[in-house]
Amino acid sequence: MIYFDNAATTFPKPPTVRREIDRCLRDYCGNPGRSAHALSLAAAEAIYDCRAEAAALLGVPSPEQIIFTYNTTHALNMAIKGLLRRGDHVLISDMEHNAVYRPIWALAGFGEITYDVYPTFPEAPECDTTAILSGIEERLKPNTRMVIASHISNLCSAMLPITEIGAFCRERGLLFVVDAAQSAGIEAIDCTAMQIDALCAPGHKGLYGPQGTGLLALREGLKMSTLLEGGNGINSLDGAMPDFSPERYEAGTLATPALAGLCAGIRFVRARGIDSIRAAERRLYRRLRDQLTELPGVTLYAPAREGSTLLFNLDGIPSAEAAARLDEAGICLRAGFHCAPLGHATLGTGEDGALRVGFSVFNCAEEVDVLVRVVAHILHKMRK
């Protein structure tokens, strides 16, 4: 079996991740922060370690500003609904995932906010920072309060100029929210240097943690209203949620075994190094892109933007059908619309969506070659 659906969730996970989850469940899985006994304290310590690792990886000065969530979607909903106020205007990019688009659409539908979409030109051979910033500037209104950007698209590998958008927003007093679902663990992120107010990331993709983990890195001094309220062992006699991060935002029991695994995942990423992970995945991208380019009947989307994710179609074969044939050959990848209707419209993938290959550090060149051979075979059979 060849697994190329790493943009949805990475598989397999490093052995250290599996071992740490097992060790947690066997040795120290008390309820973190609720009691003062040894197992509760050990669980709290494991969670703190994970916060510290995440903060170090993402350029967040204080581990307390790392808030754990169940996934990226949860983090984005918290940031969007916790920071926006009635009457605000928001700018989102034309490559946003439904994890951004749907909460924004829902708030707009309730008459709470208004929004506009700025262009990002993913098909251009290089990122045009000036054009992107002009597109944002042109759409600003007196009540614009937030700009949201998907760091790297989950369709192709187009990356947005986060540092420049961050500086633009800070100069104008706008909140800057970044969806790092496809970049955390793959591209260097420094929340402080990039002037990001809220960074939302999955634990289960490029950080190699288990599903059920995600995080929100909130700029120090910024306060969100809460999406969930409940207990966490802090100020228990008070009806109000605590005023400080992360306890204000983490209601109920955290997923300790999953976060212990995430901690091991982040350590794995830090030990390998972002530069080496990025380079390895780009090598696979180039190998696949260059071979697919040679095959007649393959349409590639934004192929010049090298990264960890490649989007393509086989002419005359709906992507779901092509994916089913690849599955029969033991190759797992995703077809269809990838929860990103804005991005599909921007890239013009048509009515059947497209096939997506997402690499992880566990993929190799031979797997790419097998995929190309199977694709060539599918195209050959179709022509007969």
Contact segment (CB under 6 A) with ligand PMP among 51-59, 67-75, 265-273, 326-334 equals 67-75
Q: Which is nearer to ligand PMP, 53 or 179 (CB)?
A: 179
CA dist 328 → 2, 219, 286, 321, 338 (Å): 11, 47, 25, 11, 21
From 29-37, 39-47, 69-77, 167-175, span contacting ligand PMP (CB under 6 A): 69-77
Shortest distance, position 366 Cβ to ligand PMP, whole Å:
26
Q: What is the chain's percent helix, strand, coil content, to nearest 5?
A: 40, 15, 45
Region near ligand PMP per CB under 6 A, out of 65-73, 187-195, 221-229, 320-328: 65-73
Provide, rounded to whole angstroms, the least separation between the CB of residue 69 and ligand PMP.
9
Instruction: Give the residue, chosen from 89, 97, 248, 278, that forms a contact with ligand PMP under the rule CB under 6 A.
Output: 97
Cβ atoms of residues 228 and 251 within 8 Å? yes
Q: Give CA angle at 338 (109, 146), nearest 5°.
A: 45
Tell me the Ramachandran region of residue 121: left when phi exceeds 0, alpha when psi lies from -120 to 50, beta otherwise. Answer: left
Contact status: 71 vs ligand PMP (CB under 6 A): yes
Helix (H, G, I), strand (E, B) or coil at 233: coil
Which is closer to ligand PMP, CB of 8 or CB of 379? 8
| Per CB under 6 A, 67 contacts ligand PMP | no
- CB closer to ligand PMP, 77 vs 232: 77
Q: Is 305 in the site for ligand PMP (CB under 6 A)?
A: no
Residue 206: left (phi > 0), alpha (psi -120 to 50), or beta? Answer: alpha
Least separation in angstroms between residue 242's CB and ligand PMP is: 26
Token pair 């439904």 is at which residue? 98
**Cβ atoms of residues 260 and 46 within 8 Å:** yes
Q: Should residue 154 be labelled a site residue for ligand PMP when binding is judged by CB under 6 A? A: yes
Q: Give the DSSP H/E element, type plus range, for residue 303.
A: none
Residues forming the site for ligand PMP (CB under 6 A): 8, 71-73, 97, 99, 150, 154, 179, 181-182, 202, 214, 339
